[in-house]
Amino acid sequence: MRYFAETGGPYPADGSNSNASGVVNVLTQSGVVRSDIRSSFNGATGTAAGVPLTIKLQLVNVNGSCAALDGVAVYLWHCDRDGNYSLYSSGVTGQNYLRGVQVSDSSGNVAFTSIYPGCYAGRVPHVHFEVYRTLAGATSAANRIKTSQFAFPDAASNAVYASAGYSASVRNMAQISLATDNVFSDGATLQVASITGNVTEGYVATLTVGVAG
């Protein structure tokens, strides 16, 4: 299989750029290795509200018959339901929620407990992630071996955005599509997660990610 590399975007907090206070690197903060990324950590307080979302990724080796990749680290981040990114966006620069690192198990799986991201102007709802060969190396963007993003099926997004707290996303979602998104417009067949669930009980998004292991 092939999985497209994509930009990390302007809000990675992986040591590769700065916010108003200088270079920002959440990967060096104590507590970043966690499965539940809804709350801030390492002294920051605050929890991102929204429809529950479990993100399940399976990492496979595209150079090795798509065998499961055991022990690779995944750093994952996305915006909150208002379309804001912790550490960067106005009002949430003191938060570091919706960011975390997990290490793949023997089946290549990682899982994160989060909330369904909002849709901000100019982008379809999406999640960013970086892959590192080891957890020890997952401390700086300089060590990443893959950077990409994935999107969601429109039906799930529209259902979520009809619920309380996501009103701004309704308008933004109506003005964008995978075909016009500046990241996914070149083809997103392998970059749309499979999703199950509902607004009341939450959703589970599943995706297989090919990495040159």
User: Would residue 114 count as lying in a domain?
Assistant: yes
First to last CA, the chain: 13
pLDDT score for 187: 87
pTM of full prediction above 0.95 = yes
CA distance 55 to 76: 10
CB-based contacts of 128: which residues, under 8 Å, 6+ apart?
8, 9, 11, 12, 76, 77, 78, 147, 148, 149
pLDDT score for 143: 97
User: Would residue 120 count as lying in a domain?
Assistant: yes
- The string over 129-163, giving b where at least 16 C-beta atoms fall within 10 Å of a residue's C-beta and e elsewhere, is bbbbbebeebbebebbebbbbbbbeeebbebbbee
Q: Which residues of the chain have pLDDT under 50?
A: 1-2
pLDDT score for 170: 97
Sign of CA dihedral 187, 112, 146, 41: positive
pLDDT score for 3: 61
pLDDT score for 1: 45
Helix (H, G, I), strand (E, B) or coil at 57: strand
User: Would residue 1 count as lying in a domain?
Assistant: no
User: Would residue 5 count as lying in a domain?
Assistant: no
Domain count, the chain: 1
For 38-68, the pLDDT digits (tens) are: 999 999 999 999 999 999 999 999 988 889 9
- According to DSSP, residue 118 is labeled P
User: Would residue 143 count as lying in a domain?
Assistant: yes
> Is beta strand 202-211 parallel, antiparallel or unpaired with respect to 52-61?
parallel
Helix (H, G, I), strand (E, B) or coil at 204: strand
User: Would residue 181 count as lying in a domain?
Assistant: yes
* CB atoms inside a 10 Å sphere around CB 198: 11
- Please choose, from the candidates 80, 108, 101, 79, the residue with its C-alpha nearest in 3D space to the C-alpha of residue 9: 79
Q: Domain containing 23 — which CATH number?
A: 2.60.130.10
